[in-house]
Structure 1
Amino acid sequence: MKSNLRRGKLIKWKDDRGFGFIQPIDGGKEVFLHISELKDATRRPQKNDTIYYQCTVDSGGKVRACNAFILGARNKKASLNGNTKPRTANTFKFPIIEVLLLSILPLFGVVHFAWTIRNPLPLIFYPVMSVLTYTLYADDKSRAKRQTWRTSEQTLHLCELAGGWLGGFIAQRTLRHKSKKQSYQLVFWAIVTTHYIAWLFWLFQGITLLS
């Protein structure tokens, strides 16, 4: 390990905002830690985790942790000297098969709905909301890297609920954003399930109600 690699305990962590504070082992001042500075983590950080890190000073003169990793929750392929291998986050393939499988029922339902009401707008709504949701995901990840004010998870979930969940799914797979946070994934898949139930109700019950 590098001589300037430090150790401390994560005494505060705001998972929804992606930051917290480390108490150095030597008892010095608390050090700010942002999620983007955690390298090769196999899970989300938690309070009382032991963190190894280096220090840097931002433009405002505040000390921040950088090149950090969680003891016991680091990719085994990561080197022990604080360096990491080049990431391949931008080379993730588009999940074609998964998207096709997930979109079959909603696509059939929205086509049937548009045909029933003789209005093409429902066919446009899903793609528009998906593009909007994907854009919000990309912007939120960019904000996380810049350590600026984030888009709230409630906003992302509302867009998914309004029909943009497929765009959210694509963003999770291609951008690797919000894909490992269990609490977020729980709500996301609840939204997807709600859409599926709604379309199943329309296809099997709505037709009878309209006839």
Structure 2
Amino acid sequence: MKPSLRSGKLVKWKDDRGFGFIQPVDGSQEVFLHISELKGAVRRPQENDTIYYYSVADSNGKVRACNAFIQGARNKSISSSVSLSSNAKSSAAPTSNFPVVEVLLLSILPLFGAVHFTWTTRNPLPLILYPTMSLVTYALYADDKSRAKRKEWRTPEQTLHLCELAGGWLGGFIAQRILHHKSQKKSYQSVFWAIVIIHYIVWLFWLFWAVLPI
């Protein structure tokens, strides 16, 4: 017998850890909800949201929600029918194309500054640091998203931000666009773009100082 679609209010939500609890409308026990089970959401869940979901029991007998969506905050391109088949899991794989134009626009100033720094100081550190840390940061994003899907312990956001600050912000930006990870969380995005601005300011100061008469 196919499980029926249920609904309830999100009474607890820990946004930094990506999980919370739903109080079903029938007053039964609270149901665990993980962020990876929300399908087609156009924003992060918030307390008091109405959640529609299917309930399943895990190996420990605890009830959790799967194939859930937020009332009034669902991508309209997503079909209204929610399947419990394994195909629904595989369809969650990221399919975005590489953001070529955005990456080129964002990297013009840092690349020019890094090349100028290397040319004038004979120190290639920025040209090495940017691609290396971008690869490391992208890998951390991918690993963190994989951990979220498996409901394992997450990579601290401070670690991701430190890697971005160390030069990996471009890799973080690419990961956000391709993997759709950390791209909807406003608090995370605020810190991320502050880091990008810091890098821009540093290179602007360097280039401005370089053209000043001695």
Normalization by structure 1: what TM-score?
A: 0.92
Q: Tell me the equivalent position of 2:204.
A: 200
Listed as ranges, the matches of 1:1-211 within 5 Å are: 4-83=4-83, 87=91, 89-205=93-209, 208=212, 211=214
Matched residue of 1:91: which SS?
coil
1:76 Cα offset (Å) = 2.2
Is the 8 Å Cα contact of residues 9 and 50 (structure 2) preserved in structure 1? yes
Is the 8 Å Cα contact of residues 114 and 120 (structure 1) preserved in structure 2? yes
Counterpart CA distance in 1 for 2:94 and 2:58 is 26
Is the 8 Å Cα contact of residues 3 and 54 (structure 2) preserved in structure 1? no
Which letter does structure 1 place at the counterpart of 2:114? V
Counterpart CA distance in 2 for 1:65 and 1:140 is 21
1:20 Cα offset (Å) = 0.4
- State how many pairs are aligned: 209
Is the 8 Å Cα contact of residues 89 and 176 (structure 1) preserved in structure 2? no
1:121 Cα offset (Å) = 2.5
Is the 8 Å Cα contact of residues 8 and 25 (structure 1) preserved in structure 2? yes
RMSD of aligned residue pairs (Cα, Å): 1.9
Which letter does structure 2 place at the counterpart of 1:196? Y
Matched residue of 1:178: which SS?
coil
- List gaps (5 residues or longer) in structure 1: none
Is the 8 Å Cα contact of residues 133 and 160 (structure 1) preserved in structure 2? yes
- List gaps (5 residues or longer) in structure 2: none
Counterpart CA distance in 1 for 2:160 and 2:61 is 33
1:7 Cα offset (Å) = 1.2
Normalization by structure 2: what TM-score?
A: 0.90
Compared CA separation, residues 120 and 204, structure 1 to 2 (3 A): same
Identity value in percent: 73
Counterpart CA distance in 1 for 2:30 and 2:69 is 17
Matched residue of 2:61: which SS?
coil
Listed one character per residue, the Cα deviations across residues 134-191 of structure 1 (whole Å, up to 9, x for unaligned) are: 0000000000110100011111111111110000001011111111112211111111
